[in-house]
A = this chain, B = another copy of it.
Amino acid sequence: MKILVADDHHIVRQGLLALIQTASIGTIIADVDSGEQAWQYIFNHEPDIAILDITMGEVSGLSVCQRIKARGLKTRVILLTMHNDIKVIDTALEAGAQGYLLKNDAFNSLIKAIRTVHAGRQYLSADNQSELQSYRTNKTDFDLTIREKEIIRHISLGQTNKQIGDTLHISAKTVDAHRTRVMKKLGFNKTAQLVRFAIEEGLSL
C-alpha cells in the first residue's frame, strides 16, 4: 500500500510518518508540505491513500480532494483536520473524501482509518455518522456547485479574483463569473455577505 502524507505542519507530518512506519501498514512514497505538491505527486504516482490536511495555505486538502475526484484517480483520500464541525465534514465528503479524521483522535484511529478506506469503505472520525445523517436530512441546500464553494472559500480567505485565478489555474474572469453566479443564487451583492455566509456554513477553510 502506498501512502502520501501532506501537512504543512512539519511536526504533525513527521509524527504521522513515524506512526505509519511503526504500524508497518504501508510504504510511504512521499510526504509534502503543500496542497500543490500533494496534487503533483498524486497526479503523477496515484498512491493508494492520500492523507491530506484540510488547511494548507494556498491549495487546501479539500481542493486536492476535488481534483482527484474530478480526474477520476484511484487515490482514496483521508482528510485530516482539527475541527469537529459537521458542516465541514459534509463539505469534505461532498468533495470526495473517503475518510475524515480529527487530529485529536487517538493514533489508533489513523491506522483504522487507513485500513478502512483502503478496503473501499468510508471512515468517519468519532461517531459522526448519525449526526451527519440528521444534518443532511434537514440542511438547506443552496444549490452551490463544488467549484462555486471552492471559489467562496478562497474569497472568504481574503484572496482577490486574480489571486484565486492564479492558484486554481483559471482566469480571473472565470473566478468573477463564478462569483457573480453565486451572488445571484444567494441574493447577495457584496463580498462581505459572501464571507459571512462562508464562515457560518463552514465553507471557509
A residues sitting closer than 8 Å to B (CB atoms) are 8-12, 14-16, 18-19, 22, 33, 80, 82, 101-107, 109-110, 155-160, 188-196, 199-200, 204
Contact = CB atoms under 8 A, between A and B. Distances in A.
A104 B145 CA distance: 32
Given A14-B15, A15-B15, A155 B106 contact: no
A7 to B, nearest CB: 8
13 contacts: A9-B104, A10-B109, A11-B104, A11-B107, A11-B110, A14-B18, A33-B104, A158-B190, A191-B195, A192-B195, A195-B199, A199-B199, A199-B200
Contacts of A160: 190
Contacts of A106: 10
Contacts of A200: 199
Given A15-B16, A18-B18, A188 B158 contact: yes
A202 to B, nearest CB: 13
A3 to B, nearest CB: 15
Given A8-B104, A11-B19, A105-B10, A196 B199 contact: yes
A23 B191 CA distance: 47
A16 to B, nearest CB: 7
Nearest to A8: B104
A161 to B, nearest CB: 11
Contact of A82 (B9, B19, B189): B9
Contacts of A196: 156-158, 195, 199, 204
Contacts of A19: 11, 14-15, 18
Nearest to A188: B158
Nearest to A17: B15
A155 B196 CA distance: 11
Contacts of A204: 196
A124 to B, nearest CB: 16
Contacts of A158: 188-190, 192-193, 196
